[in-house]
A and B are shown apart, each in its own frame.
Chain A
Amino acid sequence: MKDIRYIFAIKEAMEEEMDRDENVFLIGEDVGLAGGSFGASKGLYEKFGPERIVDTPISELGFTSLAAGAASCGLRPIVEIMFMDFVTCCMDSIVNQIAKMRYMFGNQYTVPIVVRMPEGGGLNAGPQHSQCLEAWFAHVPGLKVVMAANPYDVKGLLKSAIRDDNPVIFIENKTLHAMKGSIPEEEYLIPIGKAAVKREGTDVTVVSASRLVNESLKAADALSKEGVSVEVVDLRTIQPWDRETVFTSIAKTHRLVVAHEAVKQFGFGAEIAAAVAEEILDELDAPIMRVGAPFVPASYSLEKYYVPGAEDVKKAVLATMERSF
């Protein structure tokens, strides 16, 4: 095992896959000479050259659709969108083109493309640099949506995403880039579509993804001192999400909290809550609670009150513990 930061785990994943398959390339703003805005491709330009680490003009739509065209001609692009907010500039590429090309063209084309982007607050960067928009993409048939909570997960999931023949929206979190964690020296993969139980418990299930998994683990620690046993399920993939793991956990705890950094309304937590209500409502002993940001744009000066954290998860867990049907 070795210690590594999240951002370098991303770099290792890309480097290993580029070593493995010459059709894999990275494209985006400042990914080459500059080594990536957050440093994810540091050193890769020197190793692979400008043909495979492709700097682009500031033109998210142009280079994302270009990657779609290249992918349908046999290449395997990794697209870096500097901030998730900027993905709004290439929604046609992702929603109308990439997500539909395979199905719409009657399976003639495969579009093996990974679009990486960091979401979330933490930099006090305000309304246009802090959003969590994963639910948009989870709502579009044809895309897979992956979110990684720590260095181990981000490496294994990104490698799987690059090898996947479907388009994958790969969501990082800016506050996690500096996070340290242990990963094996040898190669490993984490399957897309499988959740992980990150902490076992018996009283309440917290279903989460990305940074809120770590916050939920902190909340679980604190709650264990108060005699509440929390099970934390990290979805890791929110589309397609792992119903089996989530439902199995709920069948054990009979209480559910869903937690994400995105605004609460219409977030992926709503889908999970709805699916649980449709399919296993009789397993629940109490109402489902949701944790998410308030329904306003991220505030520059009030960010610390805006972004949900361990305290919010703790409150939600206690709220569901106080209720029963």
Chain B
Amino acid sequence: MGKPSKEKMIEMYRAMVKIRKTEQKLMEVFSNGEILGFLHVSIGQEAAPVGICSHLTEADYIATTHRGHGHAIAKGIDLKMAMAELFGKNAGYCLGRSGSMHLADKSRGIMGANGIVGAGIPIATGAAFAAKYKKTDQVAVATFGEGATGEGAFHEALNFAAIKKLPIVYLCENNGWAEFSPMSIHAPVQSITQRALAYDIPAVTVANDVLEIYEEAGKAVERARKGEGPTLVEVRSERWYGHYVGDAQKYRGKENVAQAMAKDCLLNFEKDLLQAKVMKKRDIENINAELDTEIKAAVRFARECPYPEVSEMMEGLYL
């Protein structure tokens, strides 16, 4: 798996900026009270979803987590419809029934964010099972944090996938914090790769660097597509804003947060691209401006859409 082409790198940069800016905008409208419930943003973790989704087609599957906006954007979700869903509007992907925590787009294989930690792992494994059953070349990706690896769902899914050599990549974004607890409290291992080895699943740890992730995720996706079975990729990512927006992170300390913010996967990539002359300062400004416009338009669309009618609440429970 070589380095991505120039065009691919620009595309990856654009996707990372799109995630960052969308999350920033969501924090803003959440604090305005325009978005209800809980909001879990992935700022600081943009590299992992982009690194892996760069290898996926629309037909491939991804099951994500409560911190799932990044994966959905990297997989190509329509921003207007996604924003409408987060605003709880009828025009949203899930008719305003899911909000942030269950955002899904079947047309692009986005099987849904999940409100239950670890629950998406066996579901994505089921998508991989379906791909193998139907003899397609589709690949499934399960994303989760290191905290989810304490769940039985993680172990049961990996065990089965390994036995059946299912076409799946387990992408663990290890941001060091399982909700409010550091890894030292809930895991005796230093790396989640050690857990994969128990199931004879090849596993690798990479830094929060989009090109490194691209390379290792690429190998994992290729292995899956060739029928060689599952791989686990652990990304040492950084969570900047706590478990949910509004989490004061008192358990963590300002220094720890500052350290996380200093390891900015987006800024680092931007510097690398400038240094390698893949892009000029001007290109970067243009991309940023274009995305600002796109996100603004998505928010405007979401604001203007109507809420679902109360009379629609009972519709569609059963077929």
Q: From known contacts A61-B156, A97-B123, infer whether A70 and B129 are also in contact, taking CB-CB under 8 Å.
A: yes
Q: Are A68 and B126 in contact (CB under 8 A)?
A: yes
Q: Are B130 and A57 in contact (CB under 8 A)?
A: no
Whether B102 is near chain A, meaning CB under 8 Å from some CB there, is yes
Residues on A facing B (Cβ under 8 Å): 25, 51, 56-57, 59, 61-75, 92-93, 96-97, 101-110, 141-142, 144, 164-166, 240
CB distance from B108 to the nearest CB of A (A): 11
Q: From known contacts A57-B160, A108-B106, infer whether A68 and B116 are also in contact, taking CB-CB under 8 Å.
A: no
Whether B87 is near chain A, meaning CB under 8 Å from some CB there, is no
Query: Given the complex, which residues of A lie within 8 Å of B123, measured CB to CB?
Result: 65-66, 68-69, 72, 97
Query: Given the complex, which residues of A lie within 8 Å of B316, measured CB to CB?
Result: 102-103, 106-107
Query: Given the complex, which residues of A lie within 8 Å of B125, measured CB to CB?
Result: 62, 65-66, 69
Q: From known contacts A63-B156, A65-B123, A92-B119, infer whether A106 and B131 are also in contact, taking CB-CB under 8 Å.
A: no
A70 touches which of B98, B112, B126 (Cβ 8 Å): B126
| A64–B97 alpha-carbon span in the complex (Å) | 24
Whether B35 is near chain A, meaning CB under 8 Å from some CB there, is no
Q: Are A106 and B160 in contact (CB under 8 A)?
A: no
Q: Are A105 and B122 in contact (CB under 8 A)?
A: no
Number of interface residues of B (CB under 8 A): 45
Query: Given the complex, which residues of A lie within 8 Å of B227, measured CB to CB?
Result: none
Interface residues of B in 290-319 (CB under 8 A from A): 316-319
Whether B240 is near chain A, meaning CB under 8 Å from some CB there, is no
CB distance from B78 to the nearest CB of A (A): 13
User: Looking across the interface, which residue of chain B has its beta carbon closest to that of A25?
Assistant: B133
Residues on B facing A (Cβ under 8 Å): 61, 63, 92-98, 102, 104-106, 111-112, 114-116, 119, 121-131, 133-134, 140, 152-153, 155-157, 159-160, 163, 316-319
CB distance from B307 to the nearest CB of A (A): 14
| A75–B136 alpha-carbon span in the complex (Å) | 13
Q: Are B95 and A62 in contact (CB under 8 A)?
A: no
Query: Given the complex, which residues of A lie within 8 Å of B318, measured CB to CB?
Result: 142, 144, 166, 240
Q: From known contacts A92-B153, A102-B319, A104-B102, infer whether A69 and B160 are also in contact, taking CB-CB under 8 Å.
A: no
3 pairs of A and B residues whose beta carbons are closest in the complex = A69-B126, A62-B156, A106-B94
User: Looking across the interface, which residue of chain A has its beta carbon closest to that of B104?
Assistant: A105
| A96–B126 alpha-carbon span in the complex (Å) | 16
Q: Are B157 and A66 in contact (CB under 8 A)?
A: yes
Q: Are A108 and B104 in contact (CB under 8 A)?
A: yes
Query: Given the complex, which residues of B lie within 8 Å of A69, measured CB to CB?
Result: 63, 111, 122-130, 140
